[in-house]
Chain A
Amino acid sequence: MSGERHEGTEARRQGGGSDEATKRRSDGGSGFGVQEGRTTEQRTNDPTTDNGPLTTDPTRSVPRCGTYARTQISNHESEIENRKSKIETTHPWLSAMGSISLHTVLLVIAAFSLVPFIWLICATVKDQADFFTYPFLPWGHLGRLTLDNYRRLFAQEPFFGWLVNSLFLTSAHTVVVVTLSSLGGFALAKYQFRFRKTLQIIMLATMLLPSQVLLASSYELMYRFGWLDSYLALLIPGAVSVFGMFLFRQAMQAVPDELLQAGRVDGCSELRLWWEVALPIVRPMIGAYTLLSFMGTWNSFLWPQIILQNPAKYTLPIGLANMLGLPQYQTQYGVLMAGTLLSVVPVIVLFFILQRDFISGLSSGALKG
């Protein structure tokens, strides 16, 4: 993660570095911009400091001061050294104890967080008789472990269909939303055009609205369009993401204008500038937003629940929620758990693929707040 950030600063420096940094600082910009500005500044003008901020200013003003001031300063410095050394000389075994207890606490919390996953995996391979008898696995009778739950899941329910539906809808939606948001965000960040300010204010105002206020009127609109029980109702209205636009606007501000100008001189069209210059620079944000958007659509429940009626068109959350209501699954918990596990795995896999981008992208998004 820190690697990414350094790359960012490095790129900025090459493209007219400190100038850009001061400009960003003076317009009070985003938290992220301020942070980067600060690091560049530190690197350029403080090779003299190695004892922290307290000592720098006095040493600089030394030539003008009298001897009294000089002794004061050196007293001060020795006092600082004194205190610093006191801090550093805590007993090694004491700090080892601290380290062990810190890790114990972390391990306990991690257990709370992960046990439901482990339990879930175990629950899918137990047969019905063992399900509640053993909290995790029947250790004495490992021969009784079975894949029956999975077999029943695919035989009794159109689960495979739901999985395909979810994969299709989520990937299609993610591609559309990432494309539109990055294109719009690019325009908002890198072009001056009429109504830009107005548009941004309207967008910001709608971002704070709870989406449920639109539920009834959107439903009516879908009814008028004849899109009830159709995937169009899930794909098209959801293609707008104000949040995504702002994330990309934020990220695209790091694209140096000089680079775009150079591209234009070389004869790139504006669309190619977006594709070949801007997108590669905001790559971490693409990863982060892809994951966010994928998670949102994959897990979304309320809107598809209202729109979809035909069980063959269900997505995984709707399908599972429906299975919950069926009497036979009041006892066949293993089947239900198998369905849940298979519904959770794709998101976790995607998270592992995009992890690096996600953390750095999300962090920069958070600091905007």
Chain B
Amino acid sequence: MTRQRLWTFQHRAAPYLFVAPFLILFCVFMLYPLGRSVTLSLYRSAGPRAQEYIGLGHYAFFLSDARFWTAVTNTVMYTVAFVGLQVPASLALAVLLNSQRVRLRNVFRFAFFAPHLVGNVFVGVIFIVLLAQRHGLIPKALGAIYSPWLEINWLNDPTWARIAILMAALWLSVGWGMIYFLAALQTVDRELYEAAEVDGAGRWSQFWHVTLPGIRPVFIFMVLIGTIGAFQLFELPYIILGGPGPAESALTIVMFLFQQGFEMGDIGAASAIGWLLVFMILVISLLQLKLSGFGKEEGR
């Protein structure tokens, strides 16, 4: 009898028990800090101990702070450049690799994906040396094409420093995006291509009218993920340029947050910047979803 009861109990309680460890940790380390960061953003603090209530003071201050806007401008410029280059490049690579004539597809796929296995910090260290003025591999290779390029001072010139960060970021993530697009391309119905071919559609119009509509959800997903990720840029400039870079050309929002919170020690300010970041990401994501008409068709 008790055995029977124990049996029904474990069946009834199972889902709750399975979710419980996750739920407890989720509440303590996710929901609580989330709420706490709202109240924390209303205080000025020096380390975790000394705190002084200032209301919306942080928000008012940062919204009129020149350095904060430098960080926002830098981040937005980087995001536009990164997503604008990464998504088309990944897609192009996936289309090339998806061609039925490709031999050794798995070898190529690994070759393109491999950089993504290297962490941001390690990529940063590699690129510092690759970019060393006059001696690094990249200036040497560029100098062989056009000799003045040998003298480019990659890490000390504001414009080149930004390009350097972008290069490292693209090396890291184009192959990663390709994996997603490749998976999406393989779900597009082959018969649609045959039908298009029969109707006399060329390669280019097949791409526009069959491929792109077929992979639309993944395309939108990649733009969205790319944007959200790019907005959180921190490690690459922090490692490659050792901080905000020449003339603060690579000061990003997260780097600004890190400086305010953990170099100057005002974790209240860091929370406020965090919420400003959340707000910006939210607005841009919703805008992108709206522009792409996501959710209107197909009842997804």
Contact = CB atoms under 8 A, between A and B. Distances in A.
Interface of A: 28, 31, 35, 52-54, 80, 83-84, 87, 95, 98-99, 102-103, 105-106, 109-110, 112-117, 119-120, 123, 132, 135, 180-181, 183-184, 186-188, 191-193, 196, 199, 202-203, 206, 208-221, 223-224, 236-237, 239-240, 242, 245, 264, 269-271, 274, 295, 298-302, 306, 317, 320-321, 324-325, 333, 336-337, 340, 343-344, 347-348, 351, 355, 359, 362-363, 366-367, 369
Contacts of B171: 112-113, 116
- 9 closest Cβ pairs, A-B complex: A299-B119, A363-B183, A369-B221, A213-B274, A270-B14, A191-B15, A187-B18, A216-B267, A132-B135
22 contacts: A28-B300, A87-B197, A103-B103, A110-B108, A114-B111, A188-B19, A212-B254, A213-B34, A216-B274, A217-B267, A219-B261, A299-B122, A302-B235, A317-B119, A317-B122, A324-B242, A336-B129, A340-B122, A362-B179, A363-B180, A363-B182, A366-B180
B297 interface: no
Nearest to B33: A217
Given A219-B48, A245-B22, A270-B14, A340 B126 contact: yes
A124 to B, nearest CB: 11
Say what secondary structure dominates the interface of chain B.
Answer: helix
A115 to B, nearest CB: 8
> Which of A83, A102, A351, A369 has the most chain B CB within a 10 Å cutoff?
A369
B23 interface: yes
Interface in B100-137: 101-103, 108-112, 114-115, 117-122, 125-126, 128-130, 132, 135-137
Nearest to A184: B22
A187 B129 contact: no
Contact of B191 (A53, A95, A113, A180): A53
Interface residues of B, number: 96
A344 B122 CA distance: 8
A326 to B, nearest CB: 12
A106 B110 CA distance: 12
Contacts of B125: 320, 324, 336-337, 340
A239 B26 CA distance: 9
Interface string B15-32: 110110111011001111
A348 B262 contact: no
Interface string B241-268: 0100000000000100110011000011
Contact of B21 (A28, A183, A206): A183
Interface string B263-286: 000011011001101100110010
Given A116-B130, A210-B278, A369-B217, A220 B11 contact: no
Contacts of B40: 216-217, 220
Given A31-B217, A110-B111, A217-B37, A102 B102 contact: yes
A239 B274 contact: no
Given A299-B121, A302-B234, A302-B258, A213 B18 contact: no
A367 B187 CA distance: 9
B162 interface: no
A188 B22 CA distance: 12
Contacts of B34: 206, 209, 213-214, 217
Say what secondary structure dominates the interface of chain A.
Answer: helix
B202 to A, nearest CB: 11
B268 A103 contact: no
A369 B181 CA distance: 12
Contact of B126 (A53, A112, A120, A209): A120
Contacts of A98: 101
